[in-house]
Amino acid sequence: DVKVTQSSRYLVKRTGEKVFLECVQDMDHENMFWYRQDPGLGLRLIYFSYDVKMKEKGDIPEGYSVSREKKERFSLILESASTNQTSMYLCASMSSTDTQYFGPGTRLTVL
């Protein structure tokens, strides 16, 4: 079975802090994604990566950056956290059949 793990299930940070959210997949998938999910809204794509050191902006990249130094790891960085970044963050990796496999999510609260 594909396994996608995220570094934390719950995280509380203060405004202005730098925040790292880590995602690791164990199936050698090339494509990885970061989404956020807010009440009443679907998953919104922040960034995706189709290979090591490659990244593409999604629909809502403002205030975020990403890092893909190794194939299995895709990190989401909030350079200076703000209260409007309080959300559920989901990481996914995509198989060759186009199916996305999701991690358990990180619920981030920025105070």
Partner 1 sequence: ILNVEQSPQSLHVQEGDSTNFTCSFPSSNFYALHWYRWETAKSPEALFVMTLNGDEKKKGRISATLNTKEGYSYLYIKGSQPEDSATYLCALRTNAGKSTFGDGTTLTVKP
Q: Which residues contribute to the site for partner 1 (CB under 8 A)? A: 4, 31, 33, 35, 40-45, 48, 50, 56, 58-59, 90, 97-105
Closest CB 86 distance from partner 1, rounded Å: 19
Q: Is 79 exposed, middle or buried (0-12, 13-18, 19+ CB in 10 A)?
A: exposed
Which residues lie closer than 8 Å to 40 by C-beta, 6 or more apart? Answer: none
Nearer residue to partner 1 within complex by CB, 59 or 69: 59
In sequence order, the β-bridge partners of residue 19 are 78
Closest CB 55 distance from partner 1, rounded Å: 12
If we measure between CA atoms, which residue out of 24, 27, 34 comes closest to residue 56? Answer: 34
CA atoms of 29 and 19, how far apart (whole Å): 25
Nearer residue to partner 1 within complex by CB, 48 or 81: 48
Nearer residue to partner 1 within complex by CB, 31 or 87: 31
Closest CB 43 distance from partner 1, rounded Å: 4
